[in-house]
Amino acid sequence: MSTSVRWLMGASIWLALAGGALMGRAAPRAEACSPGPDFDPLGGMDTLIAGYGTDVEILGKAGLMTYLEVAVTFSVDRYLIGGGPRTLRALDRKSATPPMQLIQTSAMFDALDVSTLSIGELGWNGSGGACGGINEDPRGRYWVVGFGRDDAGVLHMHLLSNFAVGDGPDDPRVVAALERVEGLLTERGLRPAEAGNAGLMRGSRRDGSDQIVLAIGALVLMLGARALTHRV
């Protein structure tokens, strides 16, 4: 094998490793309900909104302990990360539970017909250890909340993605949460939308450093290929 071929192969390997490292640089989403020291509040988040919870639908048993799978509908005032329609729907599988008197034994839960349940009688226990995203009836409450998106494109709630739940957009908890999110975005050189349903689209870093590194790698490969062509 000629020196040029070995050099070109080495450059190709370097570029592949660099590209993989850059694509995987984002901090992984913590699955525990207690974040670790390296936890990134925005890590793994596809969408982040401010708006009212308007509706809840019981979809069935979640298959985890006595939790129910529910779909929560939000009326979006503002997208801080991502973008989309004024109405957003997200799933939660680790928060809602039937009334305790109906699930005193596992046999009672197994026999339960969830279609007979009303939203008002559900319990909400997202902080109970399973990391669900809801600790109270979400309807009529104002949320600053983020969502992850699965491979099927479905949005999911998680306890660590909740920044605030309050009475309305002027609730001090909501105002403080919005300031916190905007500060986190500013630290990353990003700027959320001021209002409306157009938000910041997540993607590669905006400072351009990742693209510069990959561009240099591409240039190295191009020069190597040219040198190889001249030798052949």
Contacts of 226 (CB under 8 A, 6+ apart): none
Q: Check: CB of residue 132 under 8 Å from CB of residue 125.
A: yes
* CA atoms in the 13 A half-sphere facing the CB of 132: 30
Binning pLDDT at 50, 70 and 90, where does residue 204 land?
very low
Write down the pLDDT at residue 5: 46
Average pLDDT, the chain: 79
Write down the pLDDT at residue 232: 53
87-97/68-81 β-pairing: antiparallel
3-state secondary structure 44-96: CCCEEEEEEEEEEEEEEECCCCCCEEEEEEEEEEEEEECCCCCEEEEEEEEEE
Q: Give the span between the Cα atoms of 186 and 104, in whole angstroms.
A: 49
Nearest Cα neighbor of 26 from 209, 213, 204 is 204
Q: What percent of the chain has pLDDT over 70?
A: 68
Joined together, the tokens standing for residue 217 give: 């790698």
pLDDT digits (tens, 9 = 90+) for 121-151: 999 999 887 889 999 999 999 999 999 999 9
